[in-house]
Amino acid sequence: MGLSTRLRRAARTESARGLALVSPPLFYALLMLAAPLGTILLFSFWTQDFLTIDRTFTLDNYREALSDPLYGELLFRSLRIAGAVTVVTVLLAFPIAYFVSFHVRPDRKSLWLFLITIPFWTSYLIRVFLWRVILAFDGPVNGTLMGLGIIDEPLSWILYNANAVVITLAHAFAPFAILPIFVSLERIDRSLLEAARDLGENRVMTFLRVTLPLAMPGVLAATLIVFIPTIGDYVTPRLVGGSGGTMIANMIQTQFMRLNNAPLGSTLAVIAMLSVTVISVALILLTRRWTRGPR
């Protein structure tokens, strides 16, 4: 058998075709994800003096990052804010997903999903700016509350602090949380809910014993989809977070761009990524009881 015949045969196999299909994005991912990641990792073991990079391997950056309380505090604040955003987003997304899945006529569901994506019609930056306007000292929220006589002076805790970051990010990520939860709710065979009722459980217990466990894969997906990117978010804290809402990504940016310390910035990035990984894996392991196995 000639080589060309063999190659042609190999090209016809399922795996060869699959490989051909994924190679452009795979190449792109290697170039744009793996290479920068590797670079960041390398940088984290180097040092920088003004503009010169010293390529001797050292753990000094890690020592500094872990010993200076500022970085630890920023990382924990980021985790706290991302956690709060995730909890708020998922808790608010669940009822919406539940409503669309269980109480909207089947032929109207896609319309509802379409409406839910409306926030994405404007750019992320513009949405963040809009929140800055809405939550401002003389913005509509304070104006309305004062006009109604509910408060006497403008609320100061809704802008330029961590709360503003939570509000803004929760809004931005709502569709990302609603969709996976909706999908997992849609997949629940409705006769299972009837069976639970038939076996003596009321609506609340049916929800807790059947609907919720079966929706867990969607809830977990929503949690990760919201949690992972919000930890590294840097635009929102920059624009609405004030000094109290500064997060680890802002510090990384400062290290790279202002302090000319790319190696320390890289180290902080690596530590932030590791924290996200550890928390995500822990979450996945903790919810395995509900999410594993064929459905």
Partner 1 sequence: MRDTSPPPPIITLEGVEKYYGDYHALRGISAEIGQGEFFSLLGPSGCGKTTLLRAIAGFEDISQGRILLDGRDMEGVPPNKRPTNMVFQSYAIFPHLSVAENVGFGLRKSSLSAEEKKTAVGEALEMVGLGGYGTRAAHALSGGQRQRVALARALILKPKVLLLDEPLSALDKKMREQMQTELRRLQRQVGITFILVTHDQEEALIMSDRIAVMFEGEIAQLAPPQELYRRPATRRVGEFIGMMNFLPAEVQGAQGDLVEVDVAGLGRAKLAQDQCPMGAAGKASIGLRPESLTLLFDGQGAERVAAGTVDEVTYYGDMTYYDIQLDGAPGVVSVSMRNMPGRRVLERGDRADLAWDPRAMVLFC
Q: Closer to partner 1 at the Cβ: 80 or 295?
A: 295
What φ, ψ does residue 125 adopt, rounded to 5°?
-60, -45
Establish if 286 lies at the interface with partner 1 (CB under 8 A).
no
Taking CA atoms, 27 is separated from 32, 40, 41, 42, in Å, by: 8, 19, 20, 21
CB of 203 to partner 1, least distance (A): 9
Report which of 232, 227, 233, 211 is spatially closest to residue 283, judged by C-alpha positions. Answer: 227
Which of the stretches 61-69, 73-81, 174-182, 210-218 binds partner 1 when contact is defined by CB under 8 A? Answer: 210-218
Strand-pair partners of 160: none
Residues near partner 1 (CB under 8 A), total:
21
Give CA–CA dist 286/278, Å, rounded.
12
197 contacts partner 1 (rule: CB under 8 A) = yes
Choose, by CB under 8 A, the member of 7, 209, 257, 277 that binds partner 1. Answer: 209
For residue 17 the two structure tokens come to 């075709």
Residue carrying structure tokens 């049916």: 206
Pick from 111, 199, 259, 281: which binds partner 1 (CB under 8 A)?
Answer: 199
Pairing of strands 52-54, 47-49: antiparallel
The CB-side HSE value for 182 (13 A sphere, CA atoms) comes to 22
- Quote the CA–CA distance of 134 and 139 in Å, as a whole number: 5
Residue 196 binds partner 1, judged by CB under 8 A: yes
The reply to whether 192 sits near partner 1 by the rule CB under 8 A is yes
Q: Is residue 290 within the footprint of partner 1 (CB under 8 A)? A: yes
**CB nearer to partner 1: pick between 12 and 105:** 105
- Note the helical H segments in 135-234: 140-147, 162-186, 190-198, 203-206, 212-231
- State yes or no: residue 106 binds partner 1 (CB under 8 A): no
State yes or no: residue 194 binds partner 1 (CB under 8 A): yes
Is 295 one of the binding residues for partner 1 (CB under 8 A)? yes
CB of 207 to partner 1, least distance (A): 13
Q: Given the structure tokens 């060309």, which residue do they identify?
A: 4
With CB under 8 A as the contact rule, the residue among 10, 125, 195, 257 that binds partner 1 is 195
- x-marked contacts with partner 1 along 211-230 as a string, rule CB under 8 A: --xx----------------
Residue type, 160: Y
Report if residue 107 touches partner 1, rule: CB under 8 A.
Answer: no
Which of 26-34, 63-71, 157-165, 190-198 is the region at the interface with partner 1 (rule: CB under 8 A)?
A: 190-198
Query: Is the CB of 5 or the CB of 191 nearer to partner 1?
Result: 191
Residue placing its CB nearer to partner 1 in the complex, 58 or 287: 287
Radius of gyration of the chain (CA): 24
What is the closest distance, in whole angstroms, from the C-beta atom of residue 216 to partner 1 in the complex? 8
**First and final CA of the chain: distance in angstroms?**
46
Distance of alpha carbon 101 from alpha carbon 97, whole angstroms? 6
Q: CA quadruple 199, 205, 208, 212: dihedral positive or negative?
A: positive
Least distance (Å) between residue 193 CB and partner 1: 9
Q: Should residue 288 be labelled a site residue for partner 1 when binding is judged by CB under 8 A?
A: no
| Residue 207 interacting with partner 1 (CB under 8 A) | no
Judged by the rule CB under 8 A, the positions of this chain that interact with partner 1 are 189, 191-192, 194-202, 205, 209-210, 213-214, 290, 293-295
